[in-house]
Amino acid sequence: MTNYPFLVNYTSFDPLSPSVDLSVSFAQKYMEQMKGGVAADVDDQFVERRRAGMAKKMLDSLRSVSAKSWTKTDDLLAKELVNHGIDGDLIDPWQISGGIHKVYKFAIEAYAQQLPPYSIVNKVSPVLGEVRKQVTAIDPRVLGFVAMQYHYTGMQLMDLLPEGEQENFLNYVKILDDHLYMPLQRAYQAAAKYPLDSIALQSVRVLIPVMTKISERVVDRVNQLYPRYRCHSGPLNSPHIRTSSIRDVEMFQVYMWVCLLERNLHALETELFPLCVMIYPKLNVSWELVSQMTHLLRKEICACLSPEQAKYCEPFYEILRRMFSAEVFPNA
């Protein structure tokens, strides 16, 4: 906002008093404010034009980037589809590309207008919720393939941007990743069936606001335990991998909320576990690493809850830990 002179405190006038110096200071301050206001306007206009240009570049490239993402995902996971007995004909590349174009158009437009990333949630959540619903109805294991293509699309769009802008756009990509990787709609629907005083709902309500903090602590502790570990995309402790790891721990938490609220392990057994078995080996994420993560997650969750809540939730997290332990992966 431009600063006007009446916003500066005026001084009384006496030619023989020190207030003359104050008047000069007043004039200097006024000119500085004017220059600052103009500079800010110019800077804002420059950023707006620059972002508009970059947004156009991303929109123009979206179709080709989506096609490249399909190829990259297919190269990574095609053999895994065969190994898991998944019919490749179940995956419709044109349908996936249509969904990608729709949600990334929302993200790019919000980025161009400098809107906060969360502003796209109401637009993309129903779209991605429907994508999840359609995919899991056919075969929940296909979700990993679809989610990877969405993710790779975001990463390749980000590569079109100058380094200083990549982090800004990454925040929009994360919103899309979260809503596709995580069964958020399913958790909301399950929660809506509970009275407010139920132990399951109370536990989840305690965990929601600390989800990211829990994930950060778990990831940082794993990084301390495995300081030289390298996965498919680079060192485990690199900023990009750390961000992806935090998202993964958040994903585990949301899946466990669904289990707590649905009072069964269906989401864990039919979606999360097969998804991890398909993707983690291809990303060079060891089962020892995942086992350590689930162990730390269980401890963090129980530490956040009251004794009554922890007693209800702990058996679910113990099963999660055991499913990714040496009991199941003895050669990890």
Number of domains in the chain: 2
Output the pLDDT for position 5: 42
Question: What is the dihedral angle through the alpha carbons of 255, 180, 148, 226, rounded to the nearest 10 degrees?
Answer: -40
Output the pLDDT for position 78: 85
Measured in degrees and rounded to the nearest 5, phi and psi for residue 274 equal: -60, -35
* Tokens 């606001």 sit on residue: 209
Examine the domain organization and report whether 144 and 72 are in the same domain.
yes
Examine the domain organization and report whether 216 and 151 are in the same domain.
no
88 occurs within a structural domain: yes
Examine the domain organization and report whether 124 and 223 are in the same domain.
no
47 occurs within a structural domain: no
Amino acid occupying residue 109: E
How does DSSP classify residue 305?
S
For residue 241, give the CATH number of its domain.
1.10.490.20
141 occurs within a structural domain: yes
Examine the domain organization and report whether 307 and 213 are in the same domain.
yes
Determine the Cα–Cα distance for residues 306 and 199; give it in Å rounded to an integer.
10
Output the pLDDT for position 8: 43
262 occurs within a structural domain: yes
Q: What pTM was estimated for this model as a whole? A: 0.79
Output the pLDDT for position 164: 86
Examine the domain organization and report whether 208 and 94 are in the same domain.
no
- 3 state SS of 235: strand
Determine the Cα–Cα distance for residues 313 and 315; give it in Å rounded to an integer.
6
- Kindly state the helix (H) or strand (E) to which residue 121 belongs, with its residue range: helix 121-138
Residues of the chain predicted below pLDDT 70: 1-44, 46, 332
Output the pLDDT for position 87: 82
Q: Which domain holds residue 79?
A: 56-177
List the end-to-end C-alpha distance of the chain, in Å, as a whole number.
Answer: 59
34 occurs within a structural domain: no
8 Å CB contact between 96 and 138: no
The closest of 312, 297, 187, 199 to 250, measured between CA atoms, is 297
